[in-house]
Amino acid sequence: MKSTTLVPLITLVACGLIVAAAFAPPWSRKATPPDPVSVAPNPEPVPQEAPGPVPEGMVWIPGGAFDMGATDGFPDEQPVHRVAVDGFWLDEAEVTNAQFAEFVANTGYVTIAEKTPKREDFVGQIPDVNEIPEENLVAGSVCYNPEFDRTTFRKDGPLWPYQVWQYVKGANWRHPAGPDSSIEEKQAHPVVHVSHEDAVAYCRWAKKRLPTEAEWEFAARGGLSRQSFPWGKELKPEGKWRLNIWQGNFPEENTADDGFLATAPVRQFSPNGYGLYGVSGNVWEWCADFYRPDYYEMSPRDNPTGPEASFDPNEPGVIKRIQRGGSFMCSDNYCTGYRVSARMKGEPTTGTFHCGFRCALSSGK
Ligand SMILES: [Ca+2]
Ligand SMILES: [Ca+2]
């Protein structure tokens, strides 16, 4: 594992407008504190029965206590700590293009990627917003660049993300790979290029909300304890892929051994123990919480909702919200973000071509 930060995305978005940013020095963490699981002070909550009829497309997550984090993951997944969550409803799959289209048709909502960026949007994110060429202030979003120059590529170089990722003018949820692409044949694929704000707007329309990070991880584990994947310990049990990720050497070669180069239709692989599809892989999923790498050292035990403010040492000053579950871009030689404990973060006004979301609903008790 090399880094928890695949790409400082807001910097990358800015980079699409002007090459001006440098990477912050890598963050290194102090020694891992002792695992506090055995000293959990409160009585364990009892899993809750579903409070009523199942809302369409959702499953009941019964709540309870679980060991959040992993001892063998990245530093921000530690320490493993006992967390309790109340029962809640969760979408059984990522929100699809068809569902998002219904939201847009009903509300006229316009996503951030479809709006022309303004110079002032980048204040505080790049050194001098006045250097942004006017012609580069064009609506778009972040995509993978499959044609990046392999001859000059060095993954140990500090600027490699700028070769592999690119700001594509005209890319948005209707045109995931740029203006010449469409979702006509991808109605059952997860919607992408949605920012955290866009996801929250959808949830409000659907009378739902984003899950907290703790709810997401509890649900993703499917009732299993201290396993890396929604189905157990092995990434590829019995030699079969159970998720849509990247096979081959990232970022040079994607063999698509699981059948998919990019997004797959939702409900493509077997669900986990709670009946959830695609929690690992396919697209990252926005959660409600702010990100801090050290949050697990201070998290409350019951129904944690994240820190009051975000902090990402790789991009200090840039607000970050949690993303979970990994995507079709995650490989075993790089991010392994598809592990149920893996944490990622994104700037909340930025969408990318490999991040979507699913909605939660409180039990109403
Ligand atoms: Ca794949
Ligand atoms: Ca997912």
State the pLDDT at residue 162.
81
* Residue pLDDT, tens place only, 57-89: 999 999 999 999 999 999 999 999 999 999 999
Distance 333 CA to ligand 2 centre (A): 19
Q: Which residues surround ligand 2, an ion (CB under 5 A)?
A: 278, 282, 325
State the pLDDT at residue 326.
98
Distance 180 CA to ligand 2 centre (A): 25
pLDDT higher than 50, residue 29? no
Distance 287 CA to ligand 1 centre (A): 23
Q: Which residues surround ligand 1, an ion (CB under 5 A)?
A: 244, 258, 260, 328
Name residue 127's amino acid: P
Q: In this structure, which ligand is nearest to the CA of 282?
A: 2
Q: In this structure, which ligand is nearest to the CA of 358?
A: 2
Distance 357 CA to ligand 2 centre (A): 8
* Residue pLDDT, tens place only, 111-162: 999 999 999 888 877 788 898 888 889 999 999 998 888 888 887 777 788 8
Does this model's pTM top 0.85? My answer is yes
Contact between residue 229 and residue 339 where contact means Cβ atoms under 8 Å apart: yes
Residue 247's contacts (CB-CB under 8 Å, 6 or more residues apart) are: 241, 254, 255, 256, 257, 258, 331
Q: In this structure, which ligand is nearest to the CA of 338?
A: 2
Q: What b/e string do you get for 91-124 counting C-beta neighbours within 10 Å, with b at 16 or more? A: bbbbbbbebbeebbeeeeeebbbbeebeeebbee
Q: In this structure, which ligand is nearest to the CA of 337?
A: 2
